[in-house]
Amino acid sequence: MKKLNLNLIGLAFFSLMLFACGTDDADEIDDGMDDDETEVDQVDISTLAAKFYHTDAVSVTFDETWVTITSSNLPDHKSMYYPMNNPLYEPYDEPNNPDFKKNPGEIGAQNYVFKIPRYPSEAANKESTPMGPMGVSINSIVFFNQEAAPGDDILEELNTFDQYEGHPAGDAYHYHIEPIWLTENKGSDAFLGFLLDGFPVYGPMENGKIITNDDLDDYHGHTSATADFPDGIYHYHITEDLPWINGDGFYGEAGTITQ
């Protein structure tokens, strides 16, 4: 609570400062943001739209307030979970894992629409991530959190991951852990996608160093410069250890997803 109060005092002070300097800004075009939001610290994530490369399956549009990502959630890599008549079907077996087993589902097209804040901001009250999609990657595949479906154990589900560390729930393919197809092709320090709050997700490396859970806050992120945002931005990292992508919930105000 103490921190929150300090933030509120800071915000009030900053609002006064803005008001005091207001005449200079009178000619600014209204960008549709609330009057009590300050733009100073806000970063425009729409600059990353072109990184969503698997354009057969994912498209990105944006307006002043929202980035809209539409995904049919179809991997551009091979998988044992594609139907056998799909050119991307490839059988797989994990010879070093005696507990390896295949899930019953096969990959099918989804119709996900993510509406995420173009200028993400920290949430006053951090919300848990939902079961099901909590974000979307640059090849259209959705990110799930560290929870298995009710009644299942996520550590056992690891045994069902395919050659690129994903698996389906029903016919909805997803990643819980590092999507190695992306980090192998784009780099371990690359931008990999967004969570629903608009904050970007990066791979497990930064400035040549492996990021561990100890480097990150409870939500599994931190604020620093990235190649895409040299002035700094809050961002998540995918780490090798549980909870992998997100920790205790969204750092920012979450957008919406329809499916």
Nearer to Zn ion, 52 or 143 (CB): 143
Write the single-letter amino acid at 165: E
Nearer to Zn ion, 66 or 229 (CB): 229
Residue 189 interacts with Zn ion (CB under 5 A): yes or no: no
Nearer to Zn ion, 142 or 254 (CB): 142
Residue 76 interacts with Zn ion (CB under 5 A): yes or no: no
Nearer to Zn ion, 206 or 253 (CB): 206
Nearer to Zn ion, 134 or 254 (CB): 134
Give the integer Cα–Cα distance in Å for 233 and 252: 12
Give the integer Cα–Cα distance in Å for 190 and 228: 9
Give, as one character, the DSSP assignment of residue 165.
S
Residue 206 interacts with Zn ion (CB under 5 A): yes or no: yes
Q: Which residues, 212 to 251, sit near Zn ion by CB under 5 A?
A: 224
Binding-site size for Zn ion (CB under 5 A) equals 2
Structural contact between residues 136 and 236, judged by C-beta atoms closer than 8 angstroms: no
- Shortest distance (Å) from residue 117 CB to Zn ion: 20
Give the integer Cα–Cα distance in Å for 66 and 45: 10
Residue nearest to Zn ion (CB): 206
Name the residue among 190, 184, 142, 150 with its Cα closest to residue 167: 142
- Shortest distance (Å) from residue 128 CB to Zn ion: 17
- Binding segment for Zn ion (CB under 5 A), chosen from 66-74, 107-115, 185-193, 204-212, is 204-212
- Shortest distance (Å) from residue 206 CB to Zn ion: 4
Q: Write 145-153 long-range contacts (CB < 8 A, 24+).
A: 145/176, 145/243, 145/245, 145/246, 146/176, 146/242, 146/243, 146/244, 146/245, 146/246
Give the integer Cα–Cα distance in Å for 236 and 49: 17
Nearer to Zn ion, 35 or 153 (CB): 153
144 token code pair: 């799930």
- Binding segment for Zn ion (CB under 5 A), chosen from 31-39, 48-56, 202-210, 248-256, is 202-210
How many whole angstroms from its chain centre is CA 89?
A: 26
- Shortest distance (Å) from residue 40 CB to Zn ion: 21
- Shortest distance (Å) from residue 174 CB to Zn ion: 6
Binding residues vs Zn ion (CB under 5 A): 206, 224
